[in-house]
Amino acid sequence: MADDALPGCAATRSPQSIAAGIVTGRLEYYTRQFSPYSGSQLQIVEIPRYDSFFGRAHLHTIATTEDNFLSRVDEGEIDQPFYGTAHEVAHQWWPGQVMGALVRGHGFLSESLANYSAMIVVEKTYGPAVARRVYNFQMDRYLSGRATQSREVPLLEVEDQPYIAYRKRAIAMYSLREQIGEEAVNTALRSYLEKYRDAGPPYPTSLDLYAELRAVTPDSLRSLLVDLFETVTLGTSRPSGRWWSRPARASTA
Ligand SMILES: [Zn+2]
């Protein structure tokens, strides 16, 4: 268990306590790994469930539906209130601190980074096996969404395709992290934040973030970057435990 991990999260622990712990613990992780939190407080507001979403992030405030406070998490289940809150907390950085340009590729800059960040804190807190289940969940959602579309765009061009922006991008970032290491990925994210935090127009695009990822990726893995972000490539995981095999190119849009 990493030194920034939350204490044990037993099945009987109250969701309110989980939410409070997440805010404290995840703010600490994101602050240390990315940049200081921009406010002096972060509040979670309970709202009725009028829609299917988990919650919405606003600057210094997270609105989340009441069922997340009422639900129990049994042993062996993925802690959705934990994961969802970690996702919403990450929005305080993406796009809370860096607003991307509303151009092709804008889906690359917020939801995907929030999902990737949440996957990392799940791993830090519950371990790689649980993170792997989240990874598989993301992959299933991506493949389901992919099956309904006639044409898939590369990650660098994603706009309003949730199965790519939320799912595939998080998978790609997590897979890249497996190859180049967490510190390298976080270095790229920190550099992106330092260059564009609270910047006015012109706002950064997916290519600006991609440039930071390229800068921390060894030349020997540049082709992996192309497969993950520039083309439409279907990845698979192998029994060896690696999270991303060098994939065969399935299709290119
Ligand atoms: Zn989100």
Cα(163) to centroid(ligand 1), Å: 13
- Asked if residue 20 is part of any domain, the answer here is yes
- Asked if residue 56 is part of any domain, the answer here is yes
Q: If pLDDT is split at 50, 70 and 90, which confidence band does 133 have?
A: confident
* Tokens 């600490």 sit on residue: 28
Q: What is d(CA 9, CA 177) in angstroms, rounded to the nearest whole number? A: 26
- Asked if residue 7 is part of any domain, the answer here is no
Cα(2) to centroid(ligand 1), Å: 25
Amino acid 192: pLDDT: 96
Higher pLDDT, 220 or 246: 220
For 16-35, what is each residue's pLDDT tens digit?
555 656 666 677 889 999 99
Domain that holds residue 31: 15-230
pTM (2 decimals)? 0.80
Amino acid 12: pLDDT: 40
Give the tokens for residue 246: 């060098």
Q: What percent of the chain has pLDDT over 70?
A: 80
pLDDT of 247 above 50: no
For 227-240, what is each residue's pLDDT tens digit?
999 988 765 443 33
What is the number of other CB atoms lying within 10 angstroms of the CB of residue 79?
A: 23
Cα(219) to centroid(ligand 1), Å: 32
pLDDT of 182 above 60: yes
Count the domains in the chain.
1
pLDDT of 2 above 90: no
Q: Strand locations in 48-170, DSSP E? A: 55-58, 61-65
Cα(195) to centroid(ligand 1), Å: 23
The amino acid occupying position 33 is Q
- Asked if residue 242 is part of any domain, the answer here is no
- Asked if residue 220 is part of any domain, the answer here is yes
Cα(94) to centroid(ligand 1), Å: 9
Cα(240) to centroid(ligand 1), Å: 32
Higher pLDDT, 235 or 82: 82
Q: What is d(CA 175, CA 167) in angstroms, rounded to the nearest whole number? A: 12
Check which CATH number belongs to the domain holding 122 and give it. 1.10.390.10
